[in-house]
Structure 1
Amino acid sequence: MQILHIQSSILAENSQSRALAHKLIQHLSEQAQTPVTLHSKDLAQDPIAHLEARHVQAFHTPAEERTPEQAQLVAISDAFIEEVRQADLLVIDLPMYNFNIPSQLKAYFDQLARAGITFAYTPEGPKGLLEDKPVYLVATRGGLYKDIGLDYQVPYVHAFLRLLGLTQVHTLYAEGLNMPEHREISLQQAQTQIQQITLKSDI
């Protein structure tokens, strides 16, 4: 079983999303029916260039007409997409920064969204072209947002993953981490959520 772990926190080993994701991966690995291969991608340690006009131009230029620079830009995006294709499941660290996802993660998502490659426009709307697989989001927040109409983070990620064809999305929450009266309770609840996850027997 291949697990692709996407890390996006700028706090490195001090990140609660990363710590919880590691515990989740350990829990999933213990349930796996086959040996587990873990591939981690740290978007803060190895940042991806934000989307620019040169990327869009490269993506829309036929392969035989691309300049060497354009071919290199497309190859980087192709490699990211292939990593997702090869994975049996994804674990994504999802800290909230100013009501939304880290810009490093947005830059990565922009490399995955390729019309004609990972999704297609149809008369019925966009259709995902990636093979569906489980995706686990570890959503951490300093405050409380989930039930008061201020969660712009998780709905966006769910919508983006659906665009690619990834619909088996499971979200674990740890909120109020900067609020002393909520922090420990929230972390304990997140641990309970992890322990309740049951991996599909055919993975």
Structure 2
Amino acid sequence: MTRVLVLTSSILGGNSQQLADHFSGLAVERDGVEITRRDLVADELPHLGLAELSSWQVAADERSDEQRELAARSDALIEELQAHDVVVLGVPLYNLGIPSQLKAWFDRVMRAGVTFRYTENGPQGLLEGKRAVILAARGGQYAGTELDSQTPHLKGMLGLMGIGEVNTVFAEGLAMGEAQRDGAMAEARQAIAGLVERL
């Protein structure tokens, strides 16, 4: 059984959502594939605050009721991530970065001592044997340019946790006319089909 966690983060429910839907629709038809979906806009996480961050530093049996409630949010998201083999991120580009809703998710699953640890040789990821797929939808054309800070940011955060095998599908120029949009989305859907075949 291959378990796939699909995360979406579009406030518009637009192109990146469509790419994630396409991936899920193809994947669910394959034998031995199980899909879990999490919409980070519909199920929005608050920005990480000091009280929640501090709750992780307290031993579980020593936490107050408030600290247990705060820590449970991160614990549940990490357990969900750990239980899946493939993570699919449907990601729009907002002001050259990732949506804050997706950042709030990363802020809770990237925990020192749980999903990565510090060693004398640098950080070491603790999530082994997992893969990731980034489905990136952009109004302009940024891939391969210095303005694309989103892709290395996502790969860096995934890599810190030990997820080093990352495939990226770009659908770009989506705000540059209907023909460009249709062509880019068609190419992205074809690329997604190839990735689903490898699940």
TM-score > 0.5 by shorter chain = yes
Cα deviation digits, residues 143-196 of structure 1 (max 9, x gap)? 111132110111100000001111111110001111105212211221221233
Structure 1 residue 95: Cα displacement: 0.6
> Contact 2:93–2:150 (CA<8 Å) still a contact in 1?
yes
Does 2:41 align with 1:40? no
- 1:10 corresponds in structure 2 to 11
Cα deviation digits, residues 93-136 of structure 1 (max 9, x gap)? 11100000000000010000111011000111110111231211
- 1:19 corresponds in structure 2 to 18
Distance change in 2, residues 1:198/1:24 (3 Å): closer
Count of aligned pairs between the two proteins: 197
Q: What are the equivalent positions in structure 2 for 1:6-85 lying under 5 Å apart?
A: 6-12=7-13, 15-30=14-29, 32-34=30-32, 36-85=33-82
Matching residue within 108, 125, 129 for 1:128? 125
Q: What are the equivalent positions in structure 2 for 1:93-104 lying under 5 Å apart?
A: 93-104=90-101
Letter in 2 for 1:113: M
Structure 1 residue 2: Cα displacement: 2.0
Structure 2 residue runs without a partner (length 5+): none
Structure 1 residue 8: Cα displacement: 0.5
Q: Distance in 2 between matches of 1:75 and 1:27?
A: 33
- 1:158 corresponds in structure 2 to 155
Give TM-score, length-normalised by structure 1.
Answer: 0.91
* 4+ residue segments displaced more than 3 Å: none
Does 2:143 align with 1:146? yes
Q: Distance in 2 between matches of 1:28 and 1:55?
A: 35
> Contact 2:91–2:137 (CA<8 Å) still a contact in 1?
yes
Structure 1 residue 198: Cα displacement: 5.4
Give TM-score, length-normalised by structure 2.
Answer: 0.93
Letter in 1 for 2:180: H
> Contact 2:28–2:35 (CA<8 Å) still a contact in 1?
no
Percent sequence identity is 40
- 2:166 corresponds in structure 1 to 169
Matching residue within 85, 88, 95 for 2:85? 88
Letter in 2 for 1:72: E
SS of residue matched to 1:161: helix
Structure 1 residue runs without a partner (length 5+): none
Cα deviation digits, residues 74-102 of structure 1 (max 9, x gap)? 11111100111111211111110000000
Letter in 1 for 2:99: P
Does 2:190 align with 1:189? no
Letter in 1 for 2:188: A
